[in-house]
Amino acid sequence: MRPEIEEVLQTIEEEEERRRQEGRPSLLCVGRDGGRLLHLLVLLRKPRHVLEVGLSAGYSTLWIAAALPPEGVLTTVERDGEKIAMAKNNLERAGLLGQVEILEGPALLRLRDVAGPIDMVFLDAAKDEYLDYFRAVEPLLSPEAMVVADNVLSHRQEVEPYLAYVGRHPSFRSFTFPVGNGLEVTLKGA
């Protein structure tokens, strides 16, 4: 990890801790363990196009973008303008903004503007919309795409329709990792 990226990750973790102590809203980051797993998966799969749904301050975005191959791009969707400004600043300081395209607005609307093929997806916006996000991009997934979903243990009830869909779909194999709030890793064509 380049030192400037690690520095920005630590700044976001410190800001999250300050918010917790002051009772301010959390940035709801995937956490260091989840970030490291995302980073590893990107290093292993070398996706050319990653889609993230739920940017917040860009913590998970940094972990993913930092592992992309040189030609790789990450498209991310976020509806909150203040968080987008924060994330842009973080990505710029880390030297990663050039590989990231940010789409502002409600995910289900903005996903219509995403072009395929998509090699990897990270779902981390509204938990009860995961299945809708997945269905919206399913036709764009490349033959060996990977979809990672956060909060599958912390928000089990909300994400249940999504887990049931990918769990029963004949084209996908799905695995739950008890890392952070629970990450579901779903592989197409495996």
Ligand X SMILES: C[S@@+](CC[C@H](N)C(=O)[O-])C[C@H]1O[C@@H](n2cnc3c(N)ncnc32)[C@H](O)[C@@H]1O
Residue type present at position 99 = Q
Give Cβ neighbours of residue 61 (< 8 Å, ≥ 6 apart): 52, 55, 74, 76, 87, 91, 96, 100
Q: How far is the CB of 89 from ligand X (least distance, A)?
A: 14
Residues that bind ligand X (CB under 6 A): 28-30, 54, 56, 59-60, 77-80, 83, 106-107, 124-126, 129
Q: How far is the CB of 143 from ligand X (least distance, A)?
A: 26
Q: How far is the CB of 54 from ligand X (least distance, A)?
A: 3
Task: Decide whether 104 or 169 has the Cβ nearer to ligand X.
Answer: 104
| β-sheet bridge partners, residue 52 | 76, 122
The token pair that represents 22 in the structure block: 């002051």
Task: Decide whether 61 or 174 has the Cβ nearer to ligand X.
Answer: 61
Q: Is 147 helix (H, G, I), strand (E, B) or coil?
A: strand
Q: How far is the CB of 86 from ligand X (least distance, A)?
A: 10
Task: Decide whether 78 or 119 has the Cβ nearer to ligand X.
Answer: 78
Q: How far is the CB of 189 from ligand X (least distance, A)?
A: 26
Residue 51's φ and ψ, nearest 5 degrees, are -115, 130
Rounded-to-integer distance, Cα 150 and Cα 69, Å: 23
Q: Are 12 and 57 in contact (CB under 8 A)?
A: yes
Q: What kind and span of H or E run contains 53?
A: strand 49-53
Task: Decide whether 77 or 179 has the Cβ nearer to ligand X.
Answer: 77
How many residues does this entry show for the chain? 190
